[in-house]
Amino acid sequence: MKRLILKLVFITLGAFLAAFAIEGFLVPNQVIDGGIVGISMMISYLTKINLGLLLFVLNIPFIALAYQLWGKMFIFQTFYAVSVFALFVNLVGGKIGIVTQDGLLVAVFGGMILGAGVGLVLKNNGSLDGTEILAITLTKKFPVSVGGIIMFVNVFIYTCAGFVYGWDKAMYSTLTYFTASRVIDTVLQGLNESKSIFVISEKIDEIGKLIMTQLDKSVTYIDAQGGYSGAKKKMLYCVIPRLELTKLKDIVNQTDPEAFIAIENVHEVDGKRIKKY
């Protein structure tokens, strides 16, 4: 129950940030977001129907669709997220004024705040937009990717925005979406990006000891076999913060200049030994 309450608190904060970005930056400058939110903004602009009401009503079919794909908890948290998002849009709308009218500032800062809000909601197992739900459903029936469907939908939306608002506004909208998507990735993956390292060397034990003593990081030895030689050997695996990558490479190269190193991005590390890793 405590975890659920904490998730709802962060979902509420994320919904508020997204509503603030939309009403303080996007709507006053005729710039839109992608997906259902962007469609709702255009319909509201053309018909004068309440934006909050549109955001809620247009997302309901996708929430119902998600019931077949995810559990009840996701449905509940998404329904809650969409509800408070629509409520905040109505509460904030017309009350905070225009933060800026500079198109570039709208796209960058509006996109950053919007991305932070959406990222908080997604990180806590909720959603503010039904486009992803639709995309996942379609991939189960057709040989297309989720990203491809979302891109197709957004290209259509921003093309429509060009006819509705003008092509300069459509381009600012595209830039806003790009900025928001990058911030969403940052929120979901975290700022403390780590690296996973694989090392193959004839001096693997010595390298492992130096990593543990000089960097205070745990290492794991994995039994391996050479593909060409067939020789049995050990491979070292460890996860380190990005800022310590250079130190680790120096240890490996100074110990064995012929060592093989493979480096991959790790977006999230969890577990009791996270600090040692």
Q: What is the pLDDT of residues 114-154, one digit of tens each?
A: 989 988 888 888 888 888 777 777 777 777 766 677 778 88
Which of 168, 189, 210 terminates a domain? The answer is 189
Mean pLDDT on 238-260? 88
DSSP state of 106: I
> Do residues 68 and 134 share a domain?
yes
Rg (CA), the chain: 24
Domain holding 222: CATH number? 3.30.70.120
Lowest mean pLDDT, pick from 6-10, 191-195, 240-244, 248-252: 191-195
Average pLDDT over the chain reads: 85
CA 31 from centroid of its chain's CA atoms: 21
Instruction: Report the percentage of the chain scoring pLDDT > 90.
Output: 31
Residue 277 belongs to a domain: no
pLDDT band per the 50, 70, 90 thresholds, residue 197: very high
Closest to 132 (Cα-Cα) out of 50, 41, 70, 45:
70
Is the pLDDT at 206 greater than 90, yes or no? yes
pLDDT band per the 50, 70, 90 thresholds, residue 277: very low
DSSP state of 243: G
Is the pLDDT at 272 greater than 60, yes or no? no
Mean pLDDT on 187-195? 72
pLDDT at site 146: 61
Is the pLDDT at 274 greater than 60, yes or no? no
Distance CA(219)–CA(124), nearest Å, equals: 31
Is the pLDDT at 276 greater than 70, yes or no? no
Distance CA(22)–CA(263), nearest Å, equals: 39
> Do residues 20 and 130 share a domain?
yes
> Do residues 103 and 76 share a domain?
yes
Phi, psi at 187, each rounded to 5°: -65, -40
Domain that holds residue 59: 2-189
Distance CA(82)–CA(96), nearest Å, equals: 21
Question: Which run of H or of E encompasses 188?
Answer: helix 167-189
pLDDT at site 226: 81
> Do residues 153 and 238 share a domain?
no
pLDDT at site 144: 72
Distance CA(39)–CA(43), nearest Å, equals: 6
Closest to 52 (Cα-Cα) out of 36, 64, 65, 68:
36
Residue 143 belongs to a domain: yes
DSSP state of 271: S
Distance CA(28)–CA(105), nearest Å, equals: 13
Query: Are the beta carbons of 54 and 44 closer than 8 angstroms?
Result: yes
Nearest 5°: the CA angle 161, 167, 170 is: 45
